[in-house]
Amino acid sequence: MKKYIAGIDISKEKPDLCFIQEEKTLGEEETVNTTAAVKQALKTFLKEAGAETSDVSACAEYTGQYIWPLCCACKELGMDLWLENPAQIKYSSGIQRGRNDRSDARKTAACGFRFQDKARLYNLQQENIMSLQQLTSERDMYVSDKNKYQGQLTDQERFIRKKDYRQKSGRLRKLIRGLEESLSQAAAEEEEEIKILIESDETLSEQHGQLCMVEGIGNKTAVKMIVVTKGFTDFTDARKFCCHAGTAPFSYSSGSSILSRNRVSQRADKSIKALLHMAAPVVAARCRGGNFTTVMKGKQLKEKIRCLSQTPSGRSLCTGCLP
């Protein structure tokens, strides 16, 4: 167990730090969210406490790209970093009344102290995987922007005056045409960059090739799975990935009054789940006999896709290439 715990509440501009020793608060500080500032705050505490980096463990909630300065600072100092799910920190803190950044840092530090035996240390991803993550996020952003404008054309036609709709739809169609031209060019450049990144790394190239050999898995789904699993290093068990993707069914029952059928959890990564559900009907259409024919018979498409995620054959979409 570590002697000191640094609980860090991450925000875009000014993260809060709380340093504790056996649940006793030693110091609190607010700093700027840059690598140099976070590193200096940690070094100042080490100097004041007379501690070594091996005596301290930093615990923070995962907040996407805003954790980058903290990750770089901990790597440069050689300090252990544990990034926990925000929901886990929230539910482990008991009943809460009010909140602010300073109290959130205290709760993060307390969670880090109580659950040290369950800590999973965070390591920065490989550069190629980080680049793939940025490219896929950018591509999703472009698609989302296009769909936002496209939805205005179809959703509002029945609810505004025809004259106003004609004027608005004309402007939107012109905007969408220009956006499609820009998107097609950007998408081609991104696909080329993704292809070069994968081909330049022997491990990623092998993983991508194995994934594409699985029935129903295409290029985009394969790249997304590599990014989500960080090159198949973030999950030690295929079942854990099924839970993360939201394709594993769970029972919901209590006593004799609550007897619900098994269903998947909404606490999942919906982006990879959507891709796998799009692949499921392809597998169902190409397979003959076995579980698919038995489970699918007489069911509607939406019900078929739901059933696919609850059969061993359907879950093979997620586990087929996982070790």
State the 10-residue block means of pLDDT for the chain, 323 residues long: 86 90 86 91 88 88 87 90 88 83 90 87 80 82 78 74 82 81 78 86 88 84 88 84 86 78 84 84 66 51 50 48 48
Question: What distances in angstroms separate CA 299 from CA 68, 118, 307, one per listed residue?
Answer: 47, 43, 9
Same-domain status, 113 and 131 = no
**What pLDDT does residue 290 have?**
47
Task: Tell me the torsion sign for CA atoms 90, 92, 95, 96.
Answer: negative
Query: Are residue 246 and residue 307 in the same domain, yes or no?
Result: yes
Specify the CATH number for the domain of residue 103.
3.30.420.40
Which are the contacts of 193, defined by CB distance < 8 A and separation ≥ 6?
131, 135
118, 152, 185 - which closes a domain: 118
Q: For 170-198, give the DSSP string.
A: HHHHHHHHHHHHHHHHHHHHHHHHHHHHH
Residue 43 covered by a domain: yes
- Domain shared by 23 and 43, yes or no: yes
If one counts the domains in the chain, the total is 3
Q: Are residues 89 and 142 in the same domain?
A: no
Residues 257 and 157 placed together within one structural domain of the fold = no
- No. of helices (H) and no. of strands (E), the chain: 13, 7
Q: Has residue 169 been placed in a domain?
A: yes
213: in domain: no
Distant-in-sequence, close-in-space partners of 116: CB < 8 Å, separation ≥ 6: 1, 2, 5, 57
pLDDT at 297: 54
φ, ψ of residue 197 to 5 degrees: the values are -60, -45
pLDDT for res 37: 92
Q: Are 295 and 311 in contact (CB under 8 A)?
A: yes
Burial 70-100 (b: 16+ CB within 10 A, else e): bbbbbeebebbbbbbeeeebeeebeeeeeee
| Domain containing residue 68 | 4-118
Question: Do 109 and 23 fall within a single domain?
Answer: yes
User: Are residue 93 and residue 16 in the same domain, yes or no?
Assistant: yes
Is 139 contained in some domain?
Answer: yes
CA 268, distance to chain mean position in Å, is: 9
Residue 239's pLDDT is 85
Instruction: Please state, in angstroms and rounded to a whole number, the distance separating the CA atoms of residues 43 and 81.
Output: 15
The answer to whether residues 10 and 113 belong to one domain is yes
